[in-house]
Amino acid sequence: MAETRTFQAQTNKLLDLMIHSIYAHKDVFLRELVSNASDAIDKVRFLALTDSELLEGDGDFKIKLVPDADKHTLTILDNGIGMTFDEVVEHIGTIARSGAETFADKVKAAGADAATPDLIGQFGVGVYSAFMVAKRVVIETCKAKADHAVRWESAGDGTYTIERLDKTRRGTRITLFLRDKDAPKTEGGDDEEDDVVFNADNWTDTWKIRETIKKYSDFIAFPVVMDTKKYEAEVDDEGKAVEGAERKEKIVEETLNSSKALWTRPAASIDADEHNAFYKHLSRDWNDPAETIHFHTEGAQEWTALLYVPSKAPFDLYSREPRRGLQLYIKRVFIAEDVKELIPEHLRFLKGLVDSADLPLNMSRETVQHDRLVGAIKKRVTNKVTGHFKDMLTQRRDAYVKMWDQFGTCLKEGFHYEAGSKDKLADIVLVRTTRGDGWSTLAEVVERKQAGQTALYYLTGEKLETLQSAPQLEVFRKRNIEVILLPEAVDEIMVGALDKYQDMELKSAAKGELDGLPESEEETKAKQARGDEFAVLTARLGKLLDETCKQVRISDRLTDSAVCLVSDSDGMSSQMERMMMAMGQSMPAQKRILELNPDHTLIQALRDLATKDSGDERLREFAEMLFDQALLAEGAPIKNPAKFAQRVASAMTFAVAH
């Protein structure tokens, strides 16, 4: 008995999008279904390497398309691994990927016309794309060695039926009951709106199917065949057509694809269209890739890598368990997907495959982990990709910047995961600086250094805008020294790993005493004199702020602002502290140093107050206000905002009245 079930909520939304899709290239449904069929055959072929019984005598792998104009159906059959009842429920009733909620959110945010390739491409829509051309879909499947078959059916209307059937041949058959309106387009007559909503292409048209397979699935490793009717004239004994006799209908199986593994071809012989089609098959992304990296190694180890950089970061790039890794082939036989041992964590956005001639065919997920050759491949892949990025940066800067916008944050994680190659990574990092016009490389910042400058300065924080107006930068502006602005959490990891670039030390503009700046002897003397002049004030404020500040001192950094906070040279920056807390690390509160601007009228007035008035009451209030101001300037929360607001109001009242 068939039971009726409801789709998971997010799946339903996706179905809805498919049905009402305004997406122009509806032909991609065929690519999706053929890709699934090819994956399923890959799986059974791999498992059969160690368990030949799985094949049950059927090792003639193929994907078959059966268009039926009379019934108005298109059927896709494969003799792949098949699915059990539970697998159908799990894979076809839900969006299998972790991002179901994200998907719903994105659709909501993107509005009604959300079914753009950009959005769809980020999710595994595979099977559901069938609803772009079909009003009803029936899946009949039988898993290798299973004791039952399954029939699944849905009209994409929120529910599906599923039932267990007697065992059949291994594999999956998907029947698409094509939309009524899928009649061949007639000139001019059609209602315009219908043209947009429904595909007027006829998916029982063999010519159309042939073209589509050639376009999207030519490289599929197994034959994609189609039953075509041929009409043959009756021939006599000599092979001559019998005059007047009726032509005979004959069904012939025609192979539609060339099955040539793309990566085995010389790189120069593959054109962009072929790469685009192959990438889409492999990644399930609906967009073209941004970059292709294809190389072959010979000698002691022979292997090929074909890698793609997507044009858009997937939604789950920074989730805890993103899908990552490359496909592994051994001598063109698919072994496993998502093999994360083949690429480092910070390159997890790459899609692609490695095909090795030297790994043993009985390789499993477990043996992959400890294999030395796999380790060597990963290293070589990392170097190749980093080299490719460097070439992009020097030769095609615009393309690199686009890539960086999508994956820069991820790449910077390499300073953590691949500390050994930090110098190579540093060469391809792009940063914002106080110069304010776009991205710079670290080398460019070094080139623009001032005479006598021996360190590269940076400031970390949470937002670029806050950093740009940070008081800590005032002295650098005055001296025309460029400061690198680092608004991302991962930047702390980068500067933690990178203490030097070329021969310039990397220093925080908000840590320790400022050195490395060019300074004349007179300036040094003037600094000492100022320290003495403000000694009473700094000592008294230091005492009053004992609990929150490590020290109060006169600043070299400020020109306009009255105060700022800095860390000890070996202290943790406030950004790092917030990051650790966000990760749930409990830490003793880090006390920081409050610096005063000796040229600021307020600080000068306080200096006079501190020497004249020995009472602590007023000075304490000012001390706390100074501290809160410094926090606000760096975008950090203050302890008691209401109290601060009251104090500002009363100070303003006083100013207005006098």
Least spacing, CB of residue 444 vs ligand ADP, in Å: 41
Residue among 14, 40, 467, 509 that touches ligand ADP (CB under 6 A): 40
Kindly determine how many residues on this chain lie close enough to bind ligand ADP according to the rule CB under 6 A: 16
Cβ proximity to ligand ADP: between 172 and 434 the closer is 172
Written as six digits, the tokens of 221 are 């490793």
Q: Least distance in Å: CB of 90 to ligand ADP?
A: 8
What CA–CA distance (Å, rounded) separates 71 from 82? 25
Q: Using the rule CB under 6 A, give the single segment among 81-89, 390-398, 566-574, 576-584 that binds ligand ADP.
A: 81-89
* Minimum distance, C-beta of residue 17 to ligand ADP, in the bound complex (Å): 14
Kindly report the backbone phi and psi dihedral angles of residue 251, in degrees, each rounded to the nearest multiple of 5, phi listed first: -90, 125
| Nearest-approach distance from CB 38 to ligand ADP, in angstroms | 9
User: What is the distance between the alpha carbons of residues 561 and 633, in angstroms, rounded to a whole number?
Assistant: 9
What type of residue is 514?
L
Pairwise CA distance, residues 21 & 112, whole Å: 10
DSSP conformation letters of 486-497: E-SHHHHHHHHH
Helix (H) or strand (E) holding 172: strand 171-178
Take residue 253 and report the two structure tokens written for it: 């199986």
Among 27, 42, 78, 595, binds ligand ADP (CB under 6 A): 78
Minimal CB distance to ligand ADP: which residue?
A: 126
Exposure b/e, 362-383, CB count within 10 A at least 16 = b: ebeeeebeebebbeebbebbbe
Binding to ligand ADP by residue 47, rule CB under 6 A? no
How many C-beta atoms lie closer than 10 Å to residue 185's C-beta?
13
Site for ligand ADP in 489-518 (CB under 6 A): none
Counting contacts by CB under 6 A, is residue 81 touching ligand ADP?
A: yes
The residue within the footprint of ligand ADP, chosen from 5, 91, 424, 643 (CB under 6 A), is: 91
Residue 131-170 contact track with ligand ADP, rule CB under 6 A, x = bound:
----------------------------------------
Alpha-carbon span 229 to 206, nearest angstrom: 10
Please give the single-letter amino acid code of residue 649: A
Return d(Cα 617, Cα 172) in angstroms, integer: 82
Best CA proximity match to 400, nearest among 290, 317, 313: 290
**Residue 10, both tokens:** 């997010």
Binding to ligand ADP (CB under 6 A): which residues in 228-287? 284
Stretch that binds ligand ADP, among 77-85, 160-168, 288-296, 485-493 (CB under 6 A): 77-85
Closest approach of ligand ADP to the CB of residue 277, in Å: 16
Q: Considering beta carbons, is residue 6 or 450 the nearer one to ligand ADP? A: 6
**Minimal distance in Å, beta carbon 459 to ligand ADP?**
43
Considering the complex, state which of residue 286 and residue 627 has its C-beta at the smaller distance from ligand ADP: 286
Shortest CB 288 distance to ligand ADP, Å: 18
User: 3-state SS of 283-338?
Assistant: HCCCCCEEEEEEEEECCCCCEEEEEEEECCCCCCCCCCCCCCCEEEEECCEEEEEE
Q: Does 471 bind ligand ADP (CB under 6 A)?
A: no
By beta-carbon proximity to ligand ADP, the closer residue of 86 and 236 is 86
Q: Specify the stretch interacting with ligand ADP by CB under 6 A; choose among 31-39, 98-106, 111-119, 290-298.
A: 31-39
The residue among 128, 11, 130 whose CA lies nearest residue 73 is: 130
- Distances, alpha carbon 381 to alpha carbons 293, 374, 375, 388, in Å: 10, 10, 10, 10
CB of 6 to ligand ADP, least distance (A): 18
Shortest distance (Å) from residue 147 CB to ligand ADP: 17
Chosen residue from 67, 80, 117, 322 binding ligand ADP by CB under 6 A = 80
Report the length, in residues, of the chain. 658
- Is 37 or 225 the residue whose CB approaches ligand ADP more closely? 37
253 by Cβ neighbours in 10 Å (0-12 / 13-18 / 19+) ranks as: exposed
Binding letters toward ligand ADP, positions 170-189, x by CB under 6 A: --x-----------------
User: What is the maximum span of the chain, computed from C-alpha positions, in angstroms?
Assistant: 127
Torsion of CA 237, 239, 242, 243, to 10 degrees: -140
According to CB under 6 A, which one of 96, 399, 609, 636 is a site residue for ligand ADP? 96
Closest separation in Å from C-beta 104 to ligand ADP: 17
C-alpha distance across the termini of the chain, in Å: 89
Q: Which stretch binds ligand ADP (CB under 6 A): 35-43, 430-438, 488-496, 523-531?
A: 35-43
- From the list 10, 11, 21, 36, which residue makes contact with ligand ADP (rule: CB under 6 A)? 36
Interface map 98-137 toward ligand ADP (x if CB under 6 A): --------------------------x-xx----------
Which of 32-40, 454-462, 539-547, 582-590 is the region at the interface with ligand ADP (rule: CB under 6 A)?
32-40
Q: Which is nearer to ligand ADP, 172 or 386 (CB)?
A: 172
Indicate the residue among 107 and 484 with the shorter CB distance to ligand ADP.
107
C-beta separation of 94 from 164 below 8 A: no
Strands 148-154 and 134-142: antiparallel
Spatial CA neighbour of 509 closest among 459, 562, 448, 576: 459
| Residue whose CB is less far from ligand ADP, 19 or 377 | 19
Interaction residues for ligand ADP, span 316-335 (CB under 6 A):
none
Name the residues that contact ligand ADP, by CB under 6 A: 32, 36-37, 40, 78, 80-83, 91, 96, 124, 126-127, 172, 284
